[in-house]
Homo-oligomer: A and B are copies of this chain.
Amino acid sequence: MSISPDARADLSRFWTTIEASAEIGKGRPGGLSRLALSDADRQMRDLFRSWCEEAGLTVEVDAAGSIFARRDGTDNSLPPILIGSHLDTQINGGRFDGIAGVLAGLEVVRRLNDLGHVTRRPIVVVNWTNEEGARFSPPMVASGCFVGTYDIGWVHDLIGDDGARFGDELERIGYKGDRPCKAGEIDAYFELHIEQGPILDAENREVGIVTGGYPVRGMRASFAGQTAHTGPTPMDLRRNALAAGARWLTAVDDLGWDFAVHDGKATAARLTAWPNKPGILSDTAEAVCDVRHPDPITTRAMAEKMRRALFEAAARCGCEAVIEDEWDWGGDIFDPELIEGLRHEARRMGFDWRDIQSQAGHDAYFLATHCPTAMIFAPCKNGITHNNEESCTPQDFVAGLNILLHAVVARADR
């Protein structure tokens, strides 16, 4: 037999772990700055691991530093259920983005321990390394490697903005594990996350069942020009790579406004240049931009405009542009059966829920390429996130935690 339909997660125990985690890697007032593979990340990992071990879980670390905390089932030959998210934060991050999902997984297994219930399939709680990409770009690199999108050698060789190498930092903090970074067979992946958008809060909903993500297309481009004196060099002889980059960012920001009426967005996210000094024109620049829109065809059109704008900006400034990297994600990627399972639990327990699309990237996007995947969104105040003002109350997690608990157990006992 399974757990009682009336079983509920222990909200105050969950909140205690949230509060303890918010002491690690403090940033601006109320916020966190717990960058991937930093000392604070190590400290958080150590605490998470100790909680898992206290709960009787078997902890393994893979070659990308992701942590897998396993609770055996009655039939361990069956593929496991994974519940995961990430412990790292943005440089000016909040206290819920990521870790709420990991600690929700921990609460599920703790509750099962309380109830003395052993599921048929094993359950594994996962922390994915470097979800944010705030120190090492790209984001979600460990889950991407796990499903085979990235090569582990390439991941280890990533260099952060501070000059540190991913693989060296993994070793330094003691989280370069023995387990290969490679997904085996997985029965299902669940991720609870805060919405990072204003919809649930504005509609006063208790929870969102995520059907997929806004299609997103991004690119990283470099510009090559020529250093010269800013004084005498005539405009038509200038090859100012910084100006080219600024023109691209401006065009992309315009693109966001052009499509804003139907909730399109375009982001001028990053621009660096060299030497980037007064008195000298820059000969190199690098920039990152992306576009997103609820409709995939529109996203594709926006991406094409972003691409044309890149070469137009470079040409205007006498520079060469090269697209160094491109990515796209989102769409209706989550599993209909898992989604229906989540809706069923929401209805059964009487929560005020709605279907919702994610607007941010998540490790779940990569997992969805490998196994049935679903996500649950908890509301957050005004949708503010990637900011120290990010804010949730314990009440914001009641529906999400309990839907997760019952959906996971239903799947694991199947």
Contact = CB atoms under 8 A, between A and B. Distances in A.
A253 B316 CA distance: 10
Interface string A297-320: 000000000000000000001000
A179 interface: no
Interface stretch (A66-74, A118-126, A143-151, A265-273): A265-273
Interface in A272-326: 272-273, 275-281, 283, 288, 290, 292, 317
Given A231-B196, A231-B360, A269 B242 contact: yes
A387 to B, nearest CB: 5
B196 A232 contact: yes
A232 B271 contact: no
B292 A134 contact: no
* This chain: copies in complex: 2
B197 A278 contact: no
A139 interface: yes
Nearest to A277: B134
Residue picked from A134, A196, A231, A269, most chain B C-beta under 10 Å? A231
B133 A283 contact: no
Interface of A is mostly: loop
A229 B360 contact: yes
A50 interface: no
B280 A260 contact: no
A330 to B, nearest CB: 10
Nearest to A330: B231
Contacts of A90: 227, 275, 277, 279-280
B250 A290 contact: no
A162 interface: no
A288 B276 CA distance: 9
B232 A92 contact: no
Contact of A247 (B216, B253, B290): B253
Interface in A46-104: 90-92
A231 B292 CA distance: 8
A323 to B, nearest CB: 15
A230 B290 contact: yes
B243 A198 contact: no
Nearest to A272: B276
12 contacts: A91-B280, A132-B279, A133-B279, A195-B232, A229-B385, A229-B386, A231-B361, A235-B257, A242-B269, A246-B250, A270-B276, A271-B273
